[in-house]
Amino acid sequence: MRPENEARLAKIKKISWVLRAICALFMLGCLIAFIRSMTGPIFRHGPYWGLGTLWQGYNGVEFKVYSLTARDRGIAAISLVLEYGIAFFCGLQLFRLLGLYSRGEVFTGDSARLLRLWGFACVAWGIEKCGWFLLPLAIANSRRYQGVQLSTIFIGLVIVAISWIMEMAAEIREENELTV
């Protein structure tokens, strides 16, 4: 490998470690936010430090969780599990991908596969975010909602397309290594 390419690979490894640490913090934040947000739907009345008194809001509709019925609590709990579970999965796939990059495995079949999984996770996160606009209708019987945002779905589909291109590039690279 040429010296300038070795220097670039060293930069990729260093940046990947930093981004991997940020992904770990993101996943930790998802867990903390999930635990904090689940205290409202699970507990009806709690101690003075706020269990069950959590304010939830979405698209201009705010409500105290303790005032919800059991059915509405179930809907809120399922929505929160989906939201934070998909966000955590998205962060996990990126964490694993950056782990490969930090070891210098950039154009490999494994990295293309993890990139594709990350793209599908982004698509799932976008679909889940589109479902969030129905939450005020289901829980608070409110007709106020904003438009659906499709940007995360689009970004996820672009990542999936890039992963397929990257997989073909890895196959071409392997073929070239065999012929030399």
Residue ranges of alpha helices (H) inside 132-150 are 135-139
For the segment 5-32, the average pLDDT, to the nearest whole number, is: 92
Domains of the chain: which residue ranges? 3-179
> What share of the chain in percent tops pLDDT 70?
73
Residue 93: Cβ-neighbour burial (10 angstroms; 0-12, 13-18, 19+): buried
pLDDT at 50: 44
pLDDT at 25: 96
pLDDT at 52: 46
Q: Are 90 and 128 in contact (CB under 8 A)?
A: no
For the segment 18-23, the average pLDDT, to the nearest whole number, is: 95
Q: Is 178 helix (H, G, I), strand (E, B) or coil?
A: helix
> What share of the chain in percent tops pLDDT 90?
33
For the segment 144-165, the average pLDDT, to the nearest whole number, is: 82
pLDDT band at residue 141 using 50, 70 and 90 as cut-offs: low
User: What DSSP letter does each residue of 12-49 carry, written as one string?
Assistant: HHHHHHHHHHHHHHHHHHHHHHHHHHHHHHH-SS--TT
Give per-residue pLDDT as tens, 31-68.
Answer: 988 887 776 555 544 444 444 445 555 555 555 666 66
Phi, psi of 144 (to 5 degrees): -85, 125
